């Protein structure tokens, strides 16, 4: 059987239900537009578990999402959506591309969260785009974009508070959204929420507990993901 779609970290499969898909978390890790590659045993399982718990929390808080249920250790069932080709990034502290673009030192806090958009296109290297680009490229309507921004800030508030209870600082993260196949007027949160797409720093030690350990060759990548899962589980118990 071939997947419907294979991305860098996940595969999408059909299910018996025309309205849902199976999302499989792979052990593959990539960074720098796929130029850096590795396989980490257990990454799929850890991200599947973390993402499932986070989606449960968001669902309880009334955030509409694609998530249906966890199927097994590395698979979840999700509602079929048309993914918007806009990635929404929320930043609470300077890091990563913000630091690279501005020279503002890593760890500098912001007075308010910074919301930015990038064009979800491997071919173009996920470039930073603004509202005018999004309108002219037809990626989302202005009303949809306003909704993305508002939802992303709501998720930031919820996840920032939750991770703080886990002893983790939510530095920044990337979200993806999709239009429900069944009713395209409804936009829901899609993709995974895991240390692959969030920067998380230990509140006490400042240690990086996310994919930057892989990007920067800091070692103990899966140990950090495992620690994030342990704290998330403990907090939700």
Among 106, 126, 144, 207, binds ligand 5GP (CB under 6 A): 126
If the CB atoms of residues 19 and 131 are measured against ligand 5GP, the closer one turns out to be 131
Tokens 């202005």 belong to 142
What's the closest the beta carbon of residue 97 comes to ligand 5GP, in angstroms?
Answer: 3
What's the closest the beta carbon of residue 18 comes to ligand 5GP, in angstroms?
Answer: 28
Mapping DSSP onto H, E and C, the string for 91-142 reads: EEECCHHHHHHHCCCCCCEEEEEEEEEEECCHHHCCCEECHHHHHHHCCCCH
Q: Are 54 and 233 in contact (CB under 8 A)?
A: no
199 binds ligand 5GP (CB under 6 A): yes
197 binds ligand 5GP (CB under 6 A): yes
Structure tokens at 33: 């537009």
198 binds ligand 5GP (CB under 6 A): yes
What's the closest the beta carbon of residue 129 comes to ligand 5GP, in angstroms?
Answer: 13
Q: Which stretch binds ligand 5GP (CB under 6 A): 36-44, 73-81, 158-166, 192-200?
A: 192-200
Q: Are 22 and 71 in contact (CB under 8 A)?
A: yes
Exposed, middle or buried by CB within 10 Å (0-12, 13-18, 19+), for 43? buried
Q: Contact residues for ligand 5GP (CB under 6 A)?
A: 87, 89, 95-98, 126, 172-174, 196-199, 211
């Amino acid at each position: 059987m071939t997947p419907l779609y294979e991305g860098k970290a996940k595969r999408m499969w059909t299910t018996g239900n025309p309205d849902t898909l199976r999302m499989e978390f792979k052990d593959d890790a990539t960074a720098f537009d796929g130029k850096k590659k590795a396989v980490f045993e257990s990454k799929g399982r850890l991200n599947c578990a973390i993402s499932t718990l986070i989606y449960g929390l968001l669902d309880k808080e009334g955030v509409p999402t694609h998530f249906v249920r966890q199927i097994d250790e590395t698979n979840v069932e999700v509602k079929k959506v048309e993914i918007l080709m806009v990635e929404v990034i929320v930043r609470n502290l300077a890091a990563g591309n913000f630091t690279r673009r501005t020279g503002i030192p890593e760890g500098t806090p912001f007075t308010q969260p910074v919301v930015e958009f990038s064009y979800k296109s491997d071919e173009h290297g996920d470039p930073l785009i603004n509202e005018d680009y999004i309108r002219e490229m037809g990626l989302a309507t202005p009303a949809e974009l306003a909704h993305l921004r508002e939802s992303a800030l709501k998720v930031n508030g919820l996840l920032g508070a939750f991770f703080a209870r886990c002893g983790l600082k939510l530095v920044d993260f990337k979200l993806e959204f999709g239009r429900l196949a069944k009713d395209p007027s409804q936009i829901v949160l899609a993709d995974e929420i895991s240390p692959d797409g969030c920067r998380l720093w230990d509140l006490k030690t400042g240690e990086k507990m996310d994919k930057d350990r892989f990007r920067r060759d800091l070692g103990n990548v899966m140990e950090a993901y495992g620690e994030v899962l342990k704290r998330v589980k403990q907090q939700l118990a």
